[in-house]
Amino acid sequence: MDDYTIPQHWAHYSAADHAVWKTLFERQTALLPQLACREFVEGMHALPLSADAIPDFAALNEVLMPGTGWQVVAVPGLVPDEVFFNHLANRRFPSGNFIRGADQLDYLQEPDVFHDVFGHVPMLMHPVMADFIQLYGQAGLRAQRIGKLTELARVYWYTVEFGLVKEQVQGASGAEEALRIYGAGIASSFTESGFAVQSPSPHRIGFELERVMRTRYRIDDFQECYFVLDSLSDLLDLARIDFDPVYERLNSGPTYAPGEVLLSDKVFQRGDGGYARSHKPVSACVE
């Protein structure tokens, strides 16, 4: 099977490409110490990432590989699901080798090197996330064979891409509980980082597997709901689950819209939905 990997061709990046990286990198490194979980910020600092240049995957892998068994491999952009899962199952994280243009700093369709490396790789330094994503790759291969990818992909979306986690932080009056970013889709987005943690608009609801697997998501705009883990270590239990009985239960019962709140939800914050109401969804944007 073609694995879609290509050489990164680091020397081919232009000065303008590196300048886009610098802008994105400086914005996020200023924001995330207040908004992202400790593990993300530590991972970010442990890696050879800097504002100066788009990272060279070879140099990045010299730190990533020995610590985690993961490596970053270059791909041209989105790859077929089976190819994507096969890489993850073998601890290879596919990264787009291109970078967005200066006219697309805040939104682009395909994952580029900033989203894939800056957004995802810091969390790969965390042993729990490192194992979780590999097991997701294995589960993805099976889900695809049995036609359950839509349901499984929602787990990835609401954790690896758009997950929040509870964290104890020092507030003005001592230790307090805060919600922090660990999802790469949020961490790589200047506008969504603040929105996800601070905006009154979205719901923030305790993560519950079946609830999440029944919840559609938006791919074209800020999420209407974020799901919150009590701790990153919850991902370990999640990775060890036999999904087959869960898929079985999902064969009947409801599917939820992204903005719904249920009586059974553990609600951290009920959003006022203000943002979503003022940005009408484009049809077919919900998976």
Binding residues for ligand HBI, rule: CB under 6 A, are 75, 78-79, 81, 84, 94, 111, 153, 156
Site for Fe ion in 175-214 (CB under 5 A): 184
Of residues 168, 151, 159, 157, the one with CA closest to residue 128: 159
Q: Which does 156 bind (CB under 5 to 8 A by kind): ligand HBI, Fe ion, none?
A: ligand HBI
Distance of alpha carbon 203 from alpha carbon 58, whole angstroms? 40
Q: Which does 221 bind (CB under 5 to 8 A by kind): ligand HBI, Fe ion, none?
A: none
3-class secondary-structure state, position 201: coil
Q: Which does 125 bind (CB under 5 to 8 A by kind): ligand HBI, Fe ion, none?
A: none
Q: State the minimum distance, in angstroms, from the CB of residue 156 to ligand HBI.
A: 5
3-class secondary-structure state, position 155: helix
Site track 142-181 with Fe ion (rule: CB under 5 A), x = hit: ----------------------------------------
* Identity of the residue, 134 or 201, whose beta carbon is nearer to ligand HBI in the bound complex: 134
Q: State the minimum distance, in angstroms, from the CB of residue 115 to ligand HBI.
A: 9
Residue type, 62: E
* Identity of the residue, 35 or 271, whose beta carbon is nearer to Fe ion in the bound complex: 35
Q: State the minimum distance, in angstroms, from the CB of residue 280 to Fe ion.
A: 25
Q: Where are the beta strands (DSSP E) in 129-251?
A: 164-171, 174-181, 203-206, 225-229
Q: State the minimum distance, in angstroms, from the CB of residue 160 to Fe ion.
A: 7
How many Å is the maximal CA-CA distance in the chain? 57
Contact 158, 209 (CB under 8 A): no
Residue type, 230: D
Contact 87, 102 (CB under 8 A): no
Q: State the minimum distance, in angstroms, from the CB of residue 247 to ligand HBI.
A: 15
Site track 106-125 with Fe ion (rule: CB under 5 A), x = hit: --------------------
Q: Where are the beta strands (DSSP E) in the chain?
A: 71-75, 92-96, 164-171, 174-181, 203-206, 225-229, 267-269
Q: Which residue is nearest to ligand HBI (CB)?
A: 84
Q: Which does 238 bind (CB under 5 to 8 A by kind): ligand HBI, Fe ion, none?
A: none
Of residues 110, 266, 255, the one with CA closest to residue 188: 110
Contact 188, 28 (CB under 8 A): yes
* Identity of the residue, 119 or 271, whose beta carbon is nearer to Fe ion in the bound complex: 119
Q: State the minimum distance, in angstroms, from the CB of residue 174 to ligand HBI.
A: 40
Q: Which does 84 bind (CB under 5 to 8 A by kind): Fe ion, ligand HBI, none?
A: ligand HBI
Residue type, 27: R
List interacting residues with Fe ion (CB under 5 A): 184
